[in-house]
Amino acid sequence: MKRPLIAGNWKMNTSPTAGFALYKELLSGKNAGAFSEDLEWLVLPPFTHLGAFQQLGGIQVGAQNCSQHSQGAFTGEISVDMLSDLGCRYILVGHSERRQYFKEGAPELIGKVSQIMIAKCIPIFCVGETLEEREQGITEEVLERQIREVFDQFSYISVDVVLAYEPVWAIGTGKTATVEQAQEAHAFLRQLWSKFVGENRAKNTRILYGGSMKPDNAGALLSMPDIDGGLIGGAALNANAFLSIAAEF
């Protein structure tokens, strides 16, 4: 049985001091609330916060990015081994902002996924279409290309990958895919993923919705059979909002 996952992507927000306060607020709310015992909690803060959060404990921390290299003269990069040593089990890969602003494509993503699997960590692999691609009716074509250009390169996928569907047109815009649109995309991804890991593993693969999930739409989205959690952006920076979403699981 899949364990639902709520993951907060803080992006480049909060100072270490403010981030620590938010983390403690989330932890206090989690400990005081009546949440599903099956729910897995995760925050993906800036790299500067990881050590302090790990020492406090209570909600697991992951990383928003990693290097495609294991070590070396790569100024400003951070390796998977460094992140793993800080307690990061999950690492976000292929977020639309990395693809759009930093021009990350298949070569970089293949390298990152490879490093993550070598370290036996878990990639949260993001895919999604732009508004133009949605309007052209090529959503499934785009999703399949984004999956295949990376995972076709591996003869065996040795870790339980988490997939995240993020319709790019619904990130930070206030727009949200309808529950039917989200479910359709998630179901397609699960069917596609079965070609890489087999039907049984695909049934147990968690696929998160990452397109502006908020307290007022989380319940409807999470009621869909192929939506196994949320990759939360803006709402993750507000403790009450994040806790309200967690209460919908």
Indicate if 104 belongs to the active site: no
Q: Which of 95, 108, 129, 248 is catalytic?
A: 95
Helix segments in the chain, DSSP class H: 16-32, 50-56, 80-85, 96-101, 106-118, 131-135, 139-151, 179-197, 199-203, 215-222, 239-246
Catalytic residue from among 97, 108, 129, 166: 166
C-alpha–C-alpha distance, residues 141 and 174, integer Å: 25
The reply to whether 133 belongs to the active site is: no
Structure tokens at 212: 């502006």
CA distance 37 to 249: 10
- CA separation (Å) from 10 to 198, 204, 235? 33, 27, 9
DSSP string, 59-108: SEE-BS---SSSSSS-TT---HHHHHHTT--EEEE--HHHHHHS---HHH
Cite the active site residues: 95, 166
